[in-house]
C-alpha cells in the first residue's frame, strides 16, 4: 500500500497538472503520473510524496570508507536512504533512463 503524504514546494497548474519545485528538474506532472524521481505523484491535481518517512537502508561505517579526505579520522559516519532519486547517473544500477 502506498503511503501518500502531502508534498511541499509545488504549484497547481491548468488542467489539474502540478509543477513540482523541489529540485531543478521542475517536473510538470499530469494527473495520475509521477515526476522524474518516481516518488512524487499527482493525484487529482494535488502533489503527494510516496516516500515520506520511509527508509530503505541505514549503515554505520568508518569515516575512511566515505569520499572525504582526512575528515575526523577514526570516527564513524551514519548513512541512510530511501527510494527514489532525482539524478540519472549512467553508471548507476538504479538509473531508469
Residues that bind ligand SF4 (CB under 6 A): 20, 22-23, 25-27, 35-37, 40, 85-89, 92, 94-95
Do residues 50 and 6 lie in contact, with contact meaning Cβ atoms separated by under 8 Å? no
Q: What is the CA radius of gyration of the chain?
A: 17
Other beta carbons within 10 angstroms of residue 7's beta carbon come to 20
User: Which residue lies nearer to ligand SF4 by CB, 63 or 85?
Assistant: 85
CA pair distance 88, 21, nearest whole angstrom: 18
- Distance in Å, CB of 85 to ligand SF4, minimum: 3
User: Which residue lies nearer to ligand SF4 by CB, 68 or 87?
Assistant: 87
- Distance in Å, CB of 69 to ligand SF4, minimum: 20
Amino acid at each position: 500500500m502506498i503511503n501518500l503524504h502531502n508534498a511541499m514546494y509545488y504549484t497547481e497548474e491548468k488542467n489539474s497538472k502540478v509543477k513540482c519545485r523541489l529540485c531543478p528538474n521542475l517536473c510538470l506532472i499530469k494527473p495520475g503520473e509521477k515526476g522524474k524521481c518516481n516518488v512524487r505523484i499527482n493525484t487529482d491535481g494535488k502533489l503527494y510524496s510516496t516516500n515520506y518517512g520511509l527508509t530503505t537502508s541505514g549503515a554505520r561505517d568508518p569515516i575512511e570508507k566515505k569520499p572525504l579526505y582526512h575528515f575526523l579520522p577514526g570516527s564513524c559516519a551514519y548513512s541512510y536512504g530511501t527510494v527514489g532519486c532525482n539524478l540519472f547517473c549512467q553508471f548507476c544500477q538504479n538509473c531508469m533512463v
